Amino acid sequence: MTQQIITHRFQIRGPQLSFTFTASEGKTAIGRHSDNNLVFTHPLVSRSHAQLICTADSCTLIDLGSTHGTFVNQERLEANAPLRLVAGMVVEIGAFRMVYDPEVTVVDEPEKPDIPEVAAADEEPETAVAETPPPPLPTAPVAPAAPVPPPVTTSRAPDTDYVDTVPFTPVSAPPGFGPPRPPASPPPTPASNGHFHLPPGLSLVESRYLQYLPDIYWDKENTFIPRFLALLESILAPIEWNIDNFYLFLDPRTAPLSFLPWLANWFEITFDGSWDEAQMRTLLQEAHQIYRLRGTSWALSRVLEIYTGVKPEIDDTNKNLAAYTFSVHIPLRERQVNRAMIEHIIDVNKPAHTSYTLIFKE
């Protein structure tokens, strides 16, 4: 005799993911919240959206009163009404598509071995003793040992790799999902291991570009056009935002950190790794004043103060100094600062014909 074992598999596709999910026997919660067994992060998915109840031979889907509904073969499922799934059914939850693809494996049941009636053979000598005495024998006969049962063999149909009628690329399941069925060959490594995050204000299923199309494309039953336009808008909208708000890039207080070296190039300023973000933004905010007074003791003192955090003492009027020389006293120990960077700042901001002496706190 044979026995059928059903593995409840679902081929799942959605925004930035595609994998095979195997539902175990019992209840499988589906929703947006991380406490669910199957987590779908999407605004059209409720926190507790639906539930799968699987047994050894069937799998039932129940919509838990979700806001945007659960669709099976493009028909909305009634809330709290169980529906037994059949192979090939397509379940749509928000922007995610689940194809029910159960795997049926036929297994031969083990045959029961023929065990001789040893007990009956043992009773015969007792009956014979009761009726007639046994004949005298030189040696007592040895009872035959019970035969060894034949080995039990279990045959199983070989697993076959699933071939989806809707082409998609299988990838590793995100955290919170069950282990995916291994494909015939290792899937390509994704370029990013993190989840896809939309820019603020955009959606995966709606697009403002739809207003520029004829009314025929506004059919609510057709979800492809809005999703397709949303893909294009997610690429073009951030570029438009940068163009419309480019003035923010020109202000050192609001410019991105990676844009600060480009602003510094206007004033022939270079930053190395010893400059932190606050120091760079402060210097760029005052760069127009410092650049105007470049070569003076005030400009040099201000740049050193921004970099070291303390105000230096610059002496260029002492009569004991040689001609065209000055001294710079930093009220910090030398090991507390980057001497090479301080010397570079002085060389760039001092008059070209002068020399200096750098003094640190002992």
Give the model's pLDDT for residue 172. Answer: 41
Amino acid at 291: Y
Is 205 in contact with 230 (CB distance < 8 Å)? yes
Write down the pTM of the prediction.
0.41
Is 280 in contact with 260 (CB distance < 8 Å)? yes
Domain boundaries in the chain?
1-113+154-197, 208-244
Handedness of CA 72, 75, 76, 82 (dihedral sign): negative
Q: Please tell us whether the domain made up of 1-113+154-197 is placed in CATH 2.60.200.20.
A: yes
Please list, in sequence order, all residues whose beta carbon lies within 8 angstroms of the beta carbon of residue 159, skipping any fewer than 6 positions away.
Answer: 103, 105
Half-sphere exposure of residue 94, counting CA atoms within 13 Å on the CB side? 25
Give the model's pLDDT for residue 132. Answer: 52
Residue 43 burial (CB < 10 Å; 0-12/13-18/19+)? middle
Pairing of strands 325-330, 355-360: parallel
Among residues 11, 171, 183, the alpha carbon closest in space to that of 87 is found at 11
194 or 13, greater pLDDT: 13
pLDDT band at 181 (very low <50, low <70, confident <90, very high): very low
pLDDT band at 354 (very low <50, low <70, confident <90, very high): very high
For residue 100, the surrounding DSSP H or E stretch is strand 96-100
Handedness of CA 10, 15, 18, 24 (dihedral sign): negative
pLDDT digits (tens, 9 = 90+) for 8-43: 999 998 877 788 999 988 999 999 888 899 999 887
Q: Read off the pLDDT of each residue in 270-291 and give the average, rounded to a whole number.
A: 92
pLDDT digits (tens, 9 = 90+) for 137-153: 544 444 455 554 444 44
